[in-house]
Structure 1
Amino acid sequence: MALSGGLWFLTAGISVLWWSHSVCVAADDGILKCDELRLGQYVCKVPEINPATQEPVKCANYTAFAPCQPAPNIFCKNYEGIVKNFTGEEIGFYRPFPCRNVNGYSYKVAVALSLFLGWLGADRFYLGYPALGMLKFCTVGFCGIGSLIDFILISMQIVGPSDGSSYIIDYYGARLVHLTINNETFRESQLYP
């Protein structure tokens, strides 16, 4: 009797494995998700730029999304999970890309204030640093040296607004991207001749 119970358990186990394998094979039908397409198999639209902030519309949590259209006669699963044959006009997925948080501080205004009125501390008052602005005002810009240093720091976008936001800079303008190195950064060794 124990043998037939063990045989039943073995048969049930094999049946469960076969069923789970067939379900997994049916779920993985070999059709890619649209966001896994290769470059050239889709076209993403240029994001709409807000003229006041010079950042993409609907920028939230430092991320915005652009609609992407798979090329004609491409089969893939769209963002709803539906397999479609695309004609090149339908949206297949939304590609995330980074955007910045801005609160109304203009880069051009900050540089101009630093260049022309930096010795009075106007640049630091504008960026939200009233104590440093008052110190520069009382010491006439640290005798000119502090104004020069502040001008360099502001023009290189090292010193920014006090609330942690970014400057408003033209979207297609000259922006500096600060590169950082952390524990996740891969350093490639160079071969010397």
Structure 2
Amino acid sequence: MQQPYPSEPLSSRNWLTAVLLAFFLGVVGAHRFYVGKTGTAILMIVTCGGAGVWTLIDFIMLLLGNFRDAEGLPIKNQS
């Protein structure tokens, strides 16, 4: 059951868009560019997503709703 009012503000970024970017273009940090984390996105390009490990961790965190945007707001599935 979903609460009528979330306990903390949520990011304006779309959860599904971030998940799809992480799945298909995660190695180049596309999902991090999308949420405003440009510095770490560039590091993902240089390291090929931390040899895939960093990408996998981000993907799992997005699925669980623990990933945050550049402002520190959680990106969660709101449906």
Give the TM-score range, shorter chain.
0.7 to 0.9
Q: What's the offset of the Cα at 1:165?
A: 2.7
Percent sequence identity over aligned pairs:
29
Alignment partner, residue 144 of structure 1: 52
1:125 and 2:71 matched: no
More contact order relative to length (CA 8 Å, sep ≥ 6): 2
Residue 10 of structure 2 corresponds to residue 98 of structure 1: no
CA apart distance, 1:132: 0.8
Q: Which runs of 5+ in 2 are unaligned?
A: none
Is structure 2 residue 2 aligned with structure 1 residue 110?
no
Structure 1 residue 134: Cα displacement = 0.4
- TM (norm. structure 1) is 0.35
Q: Does 1:159 align with 2:67?
A: yes
SS state at 2:69 partner: coil
RMSD: 1.9
Deviation of the 1:108 alpha carbon? 0.4
The structure that has the greater radius of gyration is 1
TM-score, structure 2 normalization: 0.79
Match of 1:167, SS state, is: coil
Structure 1, unmatched stretches of 5+, are 1-96, 174-193
Alignment of 1:165-184 (within 5 A): 165-167=73-75, 169-170=77-78, 173=79
The question of whether the paired residues in 2 share the 8 Å contact of 1:104 and 1:168 is answered with: no
SS of 1:158 mapped into structure 2:
coil
- What is the deviation of 1:168? 6.0
Asked whether the equivalents of residues 27 and 44 of structure 2 are also in contact (C-alpha less than 8 Å), the reply is yes
Change (3 A) 1:146 1:103: closer
Q: Is the 8 A contact 1:105 1:166 kept in 2?
A: no
Give the structure with the larger strand fraction: 1
Q: Tell me: CA distance 1:167–1:145, structure 2 relative to 1, closer, same or farther (3 Å).
A: closer
